[in-house]
């Protein structure tokens, strides 16, 4: 059962700074750059009771008639605890064509803050999948939709596929934005071999020396800080694009404060300890298939290493679904949703939005 809980707005860190400055305090208030003013728009930021706890959900769009797009997961890390809800500016252009829903699951983001910075024993994949399904039912009722589009990124792609497998009738399409289908050890080896190939092609002796120190598995326990540091030095030379000012953007978002963001980072660390390590090393990735009963679109960065595109394509090729499409975005890496947001939206509009609209028009929906 889900019911809404009133959210009392707090001052953001940027607002606190403005009020503390005498020179700025007398200035007229700036227009809210995130306000949605269209007649049929929706702009809701609330805690919603899901699975017995208050969980942070934002619903934003310029026209309620548009398809609903629920984003599950984040890009800061590959595992649980990552959220994208603070990055309102990045996804604001998407709100013209979709009603964009961001969710901070139990143990993550502002939901972690509301729980007093505690993570209980119920942080499991099964519980998170059920929470996602309960949220989907809530969104369908609240927005008057028969089905919604589900987008999963990184750990969220595990939850997303499991949600679709459990209740396919709730979804018009599934989008894998960073589809993880192999263990961390396999993905890390892919990343190492990619770096070795690129550094060799560039004649980059410094990077090659670092990779000799790191070896192919610098993150295996017990970690050697020198090996990890050497790998990171090589990695930053050849990684895909990353967002320019994520902290600045997050602090400009409604309802987010420095304290919230600090807590969200701590939540990601705790998630890794409680769930992420086991998921990354021993989850049965073969259970993500072999059949999905909704159209499946895998759209992600060509240079990604958290969710390598070749692995995702192999998974999709072996999947049975009513419709399948794989698109890799050239030049994009692990943060394709943010750094190539316009290109990503264009692909959603070209391939996914028509499927979602058709599902809404289908008789007997």
> What pLDDT, on a 0 to 100 scale, did the predictor assign at position 15?
34
What pLDDT is recorded for position 36?
96
Which residues are within 8 A (CB) of 213 and not within 5 positions of it... i.e. 6 or more apart? 226, 227, 230
Give the integer Cα–Cα distance in Å for 241 and 303: 9
pLDDT number for residue 361: 83
Beta bridge mates, 55: 48
Q: pLDDT at position 100, please?
A: 98
Which pLDDT does position 13 carry in this prediction?
A: 33
- Mind listing the domains of the chain with CATH numbers? 34-183+243-361 (3.40.50.1820), 185-238 (no CATH)
Angle (deg, nearest 10), helices 184-202 and 225-238: 60
Kindly report, residue by residue over 31-64, the tens digit of the pLDDT. 789 999 999 999 999 999 999 999 999 999 999 9
Please report the sign of the dihedral spanned by the C-alpha atoms of residue 171, residue 351, residue 329, residue 285. positive
18 within 8 A of 261, measured Cβ to Cβ: no
pLDDT tens series, the chain, 365 aa: 444 333 222 323 333 333 333 333 344 455 789 999 999 999 999 999 999 999 999 999 999 999 999 999 999 999 999 999 999 999 999 999 999 999 999 999 999 999 999 999 999 999 999 999 999 999 999 999 999 999 999 999 999 999 999 999 999 999 999 999 999 999 999 999 999 999 999 999 999 999 999 999 999 989 999 999 999 999 999 999 999 999 999 999 999 999 999 999 999 999 999 999 999 999 999 999 999 999 999 999 999 999 999 999 999 999 999 999 999 999 999 999 999 999 999 999 999 999 999 998 876 55
């Amino acid at each position: 059962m889900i019911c809404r809980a009133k959210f009392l707005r707090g001052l953001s860190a940027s607002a606190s700074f403005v009020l503390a400055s005498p020179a700025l305090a007398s200035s007229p208030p700036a227009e809210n750059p995130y306000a949605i003013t269209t007649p049929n728009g929706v702009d809701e930021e609330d805690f919603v009771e899901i699975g017995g706890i208050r969980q942070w959900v934002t619903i934003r769009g310029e026209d309620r008639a548009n398809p609903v797009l629920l984003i599950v997961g984040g890009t800061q890390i590959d595992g649980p605890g990552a959220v994208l809800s603070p990055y309102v500016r990045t996804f604001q252009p998407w709100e013209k064509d979709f009603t964009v829903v961001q969710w901070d699951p139990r143990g993550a983001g502002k939901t972690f803050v509301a729980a007093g910075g505690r993570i209980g024993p119920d942080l499991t994949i099964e519980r998170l999948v059920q929470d996602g399904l309960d949220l989907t039912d809530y969104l369908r009722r609240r927005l008057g939709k028969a089905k919604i589009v589900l987008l999963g990124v990184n750990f969220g792609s595990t939850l997303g596929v499991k949600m679709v497998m459990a209740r396919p009738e709730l979804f018009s399409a599934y989008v894998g934005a960073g589809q993880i289908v192999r263990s961390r050890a396999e993905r890390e080896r892919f990343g190492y071999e990619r770096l070795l190939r690129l550094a060799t092609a560039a004649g980059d002796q410094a990077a090659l020396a670092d990779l000799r120190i790191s070896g192919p598995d610098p993150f295996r326990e017990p970690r050697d800080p020198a090996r990890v540091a050497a790998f990171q030095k090589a990695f930053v030379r050849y990684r895909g694009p990353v967002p320019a000012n994520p902290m600045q953007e997050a602090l400009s978002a409604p309802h987010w404060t420095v304290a919230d963001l600090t807590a969200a980072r701590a939540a990601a660390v705790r998630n890794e300890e409680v769930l992420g390590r086991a998921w990354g090393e021993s989850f049965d990735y073969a259970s993500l298939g072999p059949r999905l009963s909704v159209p499946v679109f895998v759209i992600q960065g060509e240079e990604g290493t958290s969710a390598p595109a070749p692995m995702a394509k192999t998974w999709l090729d072996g999947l049975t679904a009513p419709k399948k499409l794989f698109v890799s975005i050239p030049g994009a890496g692990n943060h394709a949703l943010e750094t190539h947001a316009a290109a990503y939206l264009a692909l959603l509009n070209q391939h996914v939005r028509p499927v979602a609209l058709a599902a809404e028009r289908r008789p007997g929906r």
